[in-house]
Each structure stands twice: as C-alpha cells, then as structure tokens.
Amino acid sequence: MTEIFGSTAAMLCVCMSGLWLVSLLSKNSSIVDPFWGTGFVFVAAMGFASGHASSAPRSLLISAMVALWGLRLSAHLLVRNFGHGEDPRYVAMRRRWGARFWWVSFFTVFALQGAILWFVSLPIQLVQAAPGGPLGALDAVGVAVWLVGLVFETVGDQQLRRFKADPANANAVMDRGLWRYTRHPNYFGDFCVWWGIFLVAVSAPWGPYAIASPVLMAFLLMRVSGVPLLERGISERRPGYADYIRRTSAFFPRPPRRTR
C-alpha cells in the first residue's frame, strides 16, 4: 500500500511541477484545469501498475470508471478553454500578487490541486492496493450512482455549450434541460461520480477508510470552489440570475419553485 501511495504522490509532484513550468512559459495558469480529470486517470494507471492484484475485477472496474470520467472531463475542458486565454480567476491572482505570482501560483494553484487530487483519489489507490473479493450488489449500486453522475455532467455540459453558442443568449440565464432542476448539474454529477467510486471501493478491505474522499469533494463543490466561487458576482453580470436562484435548487435536482 505504501508503495502505491508513494508512487502516485511522486508522479503527481512531477506532473504538477512540469505544468507549473509550462504555465510560466506560456503565462497561462489555466492549463492546470484540464489536467484535473487526467490526473485521476494517471493515479489509477500508476496504482494499477503498482498493485499486486491488478487483474482483480474491482481493480479493473474502478480503473475503467475513473478513465471514462476523467478523460471526458479533460477533453471537455480543453475544448471549452481553447483560444479563450487565461481564466479570470488566475488573471485576478496575477494582478493581486504581481511579480510574486510565479511562486505563489506554484503553491496555491498547482501544488494545492495536486495534493487535493491525491487525497480525493484514495478510493482508487486503496482498491488497487487490495481489491478484495468478487463484485457484489454494493458495487452495482456504486456503478449506478457513478453513471447518474456521468450522465448529469455530460448532458449538462453539452446543454450549456449549445446555449452559449447561440448569440441570442449572450446575457441570458441558462434555465433549460437539466439546468431547470439544478443550477449546477455538472457539479451534482461530480458529486455522484465520487460517491459512486467510493461505494465500489467500500467492499475492498481498506475501502471504508476512503470515505473522507467523497466528503471532501462534496464540501469543495458545495461550499468552497464549486457553487460559491462560480456564483460570486454572477447576479450583477446577468440580471435574471437572482430570480433563477430563487426558483432553482443550487445543487440537488428538484422541480423549480414557483415565483411571483
């Protein structure tokens, strides 16, 4: 187990340091965002190669789940961000830190994301270290929850992309499709993906100890870098967003409220 933990941590250190150096040359810290999904795929691959039971059904299953989710997410972010320059979050950081941004970005952007990525990937690593016996009912439930999350992320992203592609929607609020039932179907999808992965890991000998992984992901999505960060100031930029907030759930899908 320590072999897997050490190898995945070392791999992420190399990846994040390399990305940081590229960001300095390109003056674009946004390159870290598309790596988020791929980073989990790298962890799964490293754990798969380092594990002693890589051919076990649960090890194969969780690796496939992570690969499908992570590669889709990275491809989506690459296409979405292409040609749009640096994300406004990092532009604001550059203004704030000035000449010190080069080293501040290493710790607050790249190293921090690498550490969170490693911690959230604990269910994957624990399964690769000791996958346990044959697949059972709990694994099936985990796959079902994961699939709900993947559908919400994929469909929600596609719906938003088509909405933004229409010039008539330049200042409008997306409240159609899945976005009618939750203001953040992609974040809810991410939430389900990681609880599904955890449920698959539970049947492994050390799997239950990884519960901190989906708990941390849920906290980040709902309280820190997800909903609060994205919605900060958005009502000022889009006049109809305040009403959208009043009638639409922030996270968990439900029918919209009636408003006057």
> CA-CA distance, 224 to 116, in Å (whole number)?
13
Token couple for 32: 């870290």
Structure tokens at 8: 């995945």
**Residue 239 and residue 256: Cα distance in Å, rounded?**
19
Mean pLDDT (whole number) for 162-168: 93
Asked whether the predicted pLDDT for residue 222 surpasses 70, the reply is: yes
Per-residue pLDDT at 48: 81
Rounded CA gap, 193 and 147, in Å? 7
- At residue 259 the predicted structure's pLDDT band, cuts being 50, 70 and 90, is low
Place of tokens 């187990």: 1
How far is Cα 105 from Cα 17, in angstroms, rounded to an integer? 11
The arithmetic mean of pLDDT across residues 56-77, rounded, is 96
Alpha-carbon distances, residue 240 vs 66, 159, 186, 243, 244 (angstroms): 37, 19, 21, 6, 6
Tokens 């968990």, located at residue: 252
Task: Give residue for tokens 């006057």.
Answer: 260
What six digits make up the tokens of 83?
């040609």
> For residue 54, what pLDDT is reported?
63
Q: Does 51 score more than 70 pLDDT?
A: no
Please tell me the predicted confidence (pLDDT) of residue 84: 85
**Would the pTM count as exceeding 0.85?**
yes
pLDDT of residue 217: 96
Residue with the larger pLDDT of the pair 230 and 148: 148
Query: Helices 185-202 and 137-165: crossing angle, nearest 10°?
Result: 160
